[in-house]
Amino acid sequence: MIYQHPLAYLLGIEGIALLRAFAGDHSEAFTLARLDEIRRLLDDGDALGPGIHAVPIDTRDGYRDWAWRYDDQENQLIELEQPVVRRILDGLPVGVAVDVACGTGRHAQYLAGLRHTVTGVDSSADMLAVARVKLPDVSFLEGDLHALPVADGSVDVLVCALALTHVPDLAPAFAEFVRVPRPGGHLVTSDSRGLIADIGLPIVGARTSTGDWGYMPAWTRLASDYLSVALPLGLQVRECVEPRRPAPLIDDEESDMITGGPPPPVELTEPWSVWALHDFAVEATNAAWAGNPAALIWHFQKDV
């Protein structure tokens, strides 16, 4: 079980901002403003409401309620990741492709548009149901990325996007990813670089059968974590990209926080998201998130 409290998140953001100021990134005035803001947050912390307890759930349960609105929600991570992945895919020969952990089929759709013969695989029946409506001519199979329903050496391109954060150990997943492509085949993976400073972001948002809030555990990795499993398997690095989040993350000119006024009237409803908290500490949020990589994207090629 995890416990998340809105005040704890905001104080964490303030702490990261202060460390950056301590290292010389910001002025004395910035530092003193952060200390004043922390005092205000502590004085008014009860207004943010209580914390949330959540129990771990798997991706099948986690995406059950999310699937039907997944494509309609703005997602900055996808906005940064998708152009890079598509650029890589644009440069690959057309052939047989598998989209692993395909979700609602955004990369499967692009691969089909490039005239690949595409199969999408996902563990969530609800996400696959959305994908099948969008792409009736693409084959979608329910399956786990550790045991893909795909024959050995049968595909030219394997894509796995924004899914490995849910996997506690990269090694068995990559062993499966190497089994499926032909010699010389391509593997394109992308994943979140986490919240801040490589901290994973557990997603709270589904009720369990007992009425508890559930969260999907999240792991985040360094580039070296990928290399340590990929290189011994005979994968060659063709490209590695870490797109950074835009700065400022929040348009501070629209916030009263900059003028020293009270926090804007944001209502936090369970399960609240960290994104709903940023307006309570705009300058600290922008300082803490500045320059952070949002995603880690790899293009590997299997040895011939």
pTM over 0.95: no
Contacts of 42 (CB under 8 A, 6+ apart): 7
Distances (CA, A) of 260 to 21, 40, 78, 268: 19, 11, 34, 21
The two tokens of residue 38 are: 């922390």
| Amino acid at position 115, single letter | R
Instruction: Give the per-residue pLDDT at 40.
Output: 93
Distances (CA, A) of 250 to 41, 143, 256, 278: 19, 39, 12, 8
The two tokens of residue 34 are: 């952060």
Instruction: Give the per-residue pLDDT at 172.
Output: 97
Instruction: Give the per-residue pLDDT at 269.
Output: 66
Instruction: Give the per-residue pLDDT at 42.
Output: 94
Domain spanning 56-245+292-302, CATH architecture: 3-Layer(aba) Sandwich (3.40)
Instruction: Give the per-residue pLDDT at 135.
Output: 95
Instruction: Give the per-residue pLDDT at 266.
Output: 53
What are the residue ranges spanned by the domains of the chain? 2-53+247-289, 56-245+292-302
Q: 159-183 burial by CB neighbour count: b if 16+ within 10 A, else e?
A: bbbbbbbbbeebeebbebbbbbbbe
Contacts of 253 (CB under 8 A, 6+ apart): none
Within 13 Å and on the Cβ side, how many CA atoms surround 254? 6
Query: Which residue stretches of the chain have pLDDT < 50?
Result: 254-263
